[in-house]
A and B are shown apart, each in its own frame.
Chain A
Amino acid sequence: MAIEKGERDMAKYHLQTPFSEGDVRQLTVGDIVHFDGTLFGIRDLTQIYMFDQNHEPPVSLKDMPCIHTAPSLRKVGNKWEPVCVGTTTSVRMDRFSPALIEKYGVRAIIGKSGLYEKSLEAMKRYGAVYMAIVGGAASLETEQIEEVEAVYWEHLHPEALYQFRVKDFGPLTVAMDSHGNHLYFDVKKEARRRLPELYKKLGIE
């Protein structure tokens, strides 16, 4: 069971983008990943613009990781610089995620608090993973962004499409893998299983 896995055999990986199908298929929940290369930042509006308003991304997302970003950037001349880039809660963007994987070939979605069954199904089918970042640790994330290479759909900022170049980005915990495992679900299921015993301890009838 996934919740016990971390105690036994957490594996650590250092990857490079673009990710191959093999790169992500080798990962299982509880593994820790760092990576170098390209990272696309997306948010609610970015995906409403893509999927509900039918705008094709001006850059290929194939085999790339996308992060549910919360970017504070400043523009110096023509260049965007990171001020403080953090990560936002993923569940709000769940409905876009299967299409992101199926239609655009995204290999990894990075965020916090996870996605639901349909996204998990798409990950299994097409070979993709969900990796959890440590929420609240924005200063670390910002440090790992070497450059804001491009901001597409600039008029949507702070919910545009961002292309970051990152170095040693992580630690990311594989929380949904391409084999149908979902760490958040497993951890919560186990917590719920423990509840009756905890109620008893607290004297709850």
Chain B
Amino acid sequence: MDGFDYKIVEEAAKESYIRALCDLPPDVRDALKRAYEKETRPTAKEIFGAMFKAVEISDQKKTLICQDTGLPIYMVKIGADFHWDGAELKARMYEGAKRATQEFPFRSSSTHPLTRVNPQTSVGVRLPVIYFDFIKDAEYLDILMVPKGSGSENMSAMKMFTPAEGVSALKKFVLDTVVESGGNPCPPGVIGVGIGGTSDLVTRLAKEAIARPVGQRSEDPELAKMEAELEDAINATGLGPMGLGGDTTTLAVHIEMAYTHITQNPVAVNTQCWPARRSRVTIYPDGRVEYGY
């Protein structure tokens, strides 16, 4: 598009990655505080205390909350009323993530899956992960940046159930996955659940689910009810912060749904750790940039 400087997107991709790593969204902070206030176990209260201190230090010193800077994910929504150059957007997000890594600088966690060679850029073949979607009647570009660390990502799970196994199989799968994950995903974080779609789509839905503001209920009343039910059940397990026992094991369960095949009943779980990191940047065609969560 004539006149638009794509360097702005590169800067925003870099800055949003760094912001996500250093500045925890207010909804996550509030959810952690609420969990602390209702916690009855002294050990768990100590653990929450350490979380708050870590967040405070990162606020004051602009440092990383967690050393695992993860793999960068950009969830991009393109305003359909402006001619954004998609290929250019991809290239700039690649550069932005790489520059964040090298200029901050922080650890790169990306690696070749066979040779295990780390390019020291946080990016590589097919990285960063970029999802594109579109917004009707808008000109701006909305980028939600989610760095995904491995402690939680390694606990991801997906299963294709049969329609005969019904909704109860999905609920059981979510609950069992959380219990078996124990302290590994650094609870209490957000549990993202995907339901329906195909095997790949359901996994992506679970990932989109973790990126919602904490506790923002699904607009679908059936899904919202299921979110609340699963939240209560997961917290009633008593796994607690870091899996060491306590009243809060998850800050929120978020569910995203897609229609599926008549013979299929897929479910996926994606867990986000207690520093449920994300940042948002909105870019306008006139070059204005707004940061948020």
Within A60-94, which residues are at the interface with B (CB < 8 Å)? 70-72, 83-86, 89
8 Å CB contact of B179 from A112, A135, A192, A202: A192
Residue of B nearest to A188 (CB): B182
**Complex Cα–Cα for A71 and B64 (A):** 12
User: When the two chains form their complex, are residues A184 and B233 in contact, meaning their CB atoms are under 8 A apart?
Assistant: no
List A residues 133-186 near B (Cβ within 8 Å).
134-140, 142-143, 158, 170-171, 173, 175, 183-184, 186
User: Looking at chain A, what size class is its interface with the partner chain?
Assistant: 35 or more
Cross-chain contact B182 with A137 (CB below 8 angstroms): no
Is B194 part of the binding interface, using a Cβ–Cβ cutoff of 8 Å? no
Considering only residues 183-202 of chain A, those with a C-beta below 8 Å from chain B are 183-184, 186-188, 190-192, 194-195, 198-199, 201-202
- Give residues of chain B (1-54) contacting chain A, Cβ–Cβ below 8 Å: 40-44, 46-47, 49-51, 53-54
Q: Which residues of A contact B105 (CB under 8 A)?
A: 83
A32 touches B65 (CB 8 A): no
CB distance from B259 to the nearest CB of A (A): 23
Q: Which residues of A contact B183 (CB under 8 A)?
A: 112-114, 132, 135, 184
CB neighbours (8 Å) of A203 from chain B are 168, 171
User: Closest Cβ of chain A: how far from B230's Cβ, in Å?
Assistant: 7
Q: Which of A10, A138, A184, A190 makes the CB contact (< 8 A) with B43?
A: A10
**A7 CB–B CB distance under 8 Å:** yes
Cβ < 8 Å to A, chain B residues 169-185 = 171-172, 175-176, 179, 182-184
> Is A15 an interface residue, CB under 8 A from the partner?
no
B79 / chain A contacts, CB cutoff of 8 Å: none
Q: B116-140: contact bitstring with A at CB < 8 Å (1 yes, 0 no)?
A: 0000000000000000000000000
Q: Which residues in A have their C-beta under 8 angstroms from that of B168?
A: 202-205
Decide: B54 and A136 in contact? CB cutoff 8 A: yes
CA distance A84 to B62 in the complex (A): 11
Most buried by A among B43, B46, B58, B240: B43
Instruction: Give the residues from 156 to 177 in chain B that come closer than 8 angstroms, CB to CB, to chain A.
Output: 168, 171-172, 175-176
Contacts of A171 in B (CB 8 A): 46-47, 49-50
Which of A85, A139, A183 is within 8 Å of B65, CB to CB? A139
Query: For B240, what are the chain A residues with a Cβ–Cβ distance below 8 Å?
Result: 187
Verify A138–B64 contact, CB threshold 8 A: yes
Given contacts A6-B44, A72-B107, A84-B106, contact A184 B57 (CB under 8 A): no
> Nearest Cβ in chain B — how far from A95, in angstroms?
18
Q: Check A140 against B40 for contact (C-beta < 8 Å).
A: no
Chain B residues within 8 Å of A138, by CB: 54, 64-67
Docked pose: A158 CA to B109 CA in angstroms:
12
Chain B nearest CB: distance from A192 CB in Å?
6
CB of A173 within 8 A of CB of B63, answer no
B43 touches A137 (CB 8 A): no
State whether the Cβ of A3 lies closer than 8 Å to any Cβ in chain B: yes
Question: Given the complex of chains A and B, what is the CA–CA distance between A6 and B241 in angstroms?
Answer: 13
With a cutoff of 8 Å between Cβ atoms, the chain B residues found around residue A134 in the complex are 47, 50-51, 54, 241-242
CB of B275 within 8 Å of the partner chain: yes
Q: How far is the CB of A91 from chain B (nearest CB, A)?
A: 8
List of A residues within 8 angstroms of B65 by Cβ: 136-139
**Assembly CA distance A199 to B182 (angstroms):** 18
* B243 & A137 in contact (Cβ 8 Å cutoff): no
Q: CB < 8 Å: which of B40, B47, B176, B275 contacts A7?
A: B40
Residues of B within 8 A of A135 (CB): 66, 151, 183, 186, 242, 273
Contact, CB under 8 Å: A184 / B171: no
Known contacts A198-B237, A205-B168, A113 near B182 by CB under 8 Å: yes
Q: Knowing A6-B43, A86-B67, A137-B51, say if A112 contacts B242 (CB, 8 Å).
A: yes
Asked if B106 and A140 sit within 8 Å, CB to CB, the answer is: no
Compute how far the CA of A202 lies from the CA of B121 in the bound complex, rounded to whole angstroms.
45
Q: 8 closest pairs, A vs B, by CB?
A: A86-B67, A137-B54, A191-B237, A140-B54, A134-B50, A6-B43, A135-B186, A138-B67
Binding site for B on A (CB under 8 A): 3, 6-7, 10, 30, 32, 70-72, 83-86, 89, 112-114, 132, 134-140, 142-143, 158, 170-171, 173, 175, 183-184, 186-188, 190-192, 194-195, 198-199, 201-205
New A-B pairs, 15, CB < 8 Å, besides A6-B41, A7-B41: A10-B43, A83-B105, A84-B67, A112-B186, A136-B186, A137-B53, A138-B54, A139-B54, A139-B55, A140-B53, A140-B54, A187-B239, A191-B238, A202-B171, A205-B168
